[in-house]
Amino acid sequence: MKKCLLSCLCIVVFTLVFSNLCDAQVLWGVRAGMNMTNSKFTHANGSTEDTDPVMRMGIGVTLDVPIWDDIYLQPSLIYQGKGFKGSSVWPAVIGEDSELKVNLSYLVMPIHVIFKPKIGESGSFLVGAGPYVGYGTGGSWESETDLLYDDMIISQRKGDVNFTTDGSVGDMGTYNYGKPWDYGVSFLVGYEFLERYSVQVNGEVGLANLQYIYGDFDTEQELKNIGVGLSLGYKF
């Protein structure tokens, strides 16, 4: 994980230095859109929890650096919402309608290599892929039913989300999601027009196992983030 972060940092530093050398060709931009995100919970026996995606927003800045002909390097910094809906994910939520909705907030840095061939006089096709690294900054949860702690029902149906490496540590009423650091593969397909505007489908497949330990006990479970979305962009 440390090697992954170091590699991403080196690429960003190189990009910033390179942008100073060819500032006239580098384009800063903004991007915003909506994502359908979900969390994949896999038990030690290989079975998975039945969860549903939630719609969340993402907004951030991009930097297009020309590398060669129609190939660009595009690092981005995105404030991105993630999350899921599901039953039986958190045993503290009880009742016939025990669905839990979790909204997560991440700072995500994808680094795409983009192929941008011209289509017509004022448009370009976009296709790109690359790694991403993200950090969970917080979130919230809500449910239609009450919480149960040690056979005691607590009239609480919403609260905060905590990112942690140890699930045995936390405040009562706070949902421990998983480890804060995430990484994986990101991709995009889209169209750029009038040399400034773009529309694209973007997605992420998490590779990091975010499942925390519980004290000295390793649950041997897996937790990963996945998502796909549609976004609009503008370059200055």
For 36-79, how does the pLDDT look when each residue is reduced to its tens digit (9 = 90+)?
Answer: 999 999 999 989 988 999 999 999 999 999 998 899 999 999 99
Two tokens at 105? 């907030």
Two tokens at 196? 């400034």
First to last CA, the chain: 34
Tell me the CATH number at 143.
Answer: 2.40.160
Task: Provide the 3-class DSSP secondary structure of residue 109.
Answer: strand
Q: What global pTM score does this model have?
A: 0.86
Question: Structurally, how many domains does the chain consist of?
Answer: 1
CB-CB contact of 109 with 78 (8 Å) = yes
Alpha carbon distance 35, 19 (integer Å) = 30
> DSSP class of residue 25?
T
Residue of 56, 30, 21, 73 whose CA lies nearest to 236: 30
Alpha carbon distance 91, 236 (integer Å) = 49
Domain residues for the domain of 165 are: 2-235
CB-CB contact of 223 with 41 (8 Å) = yes
Percentage of the residues of the chain whose pLDDT score is greater than 70: 86
Mean pLDDT (the chain, rounded) = 87
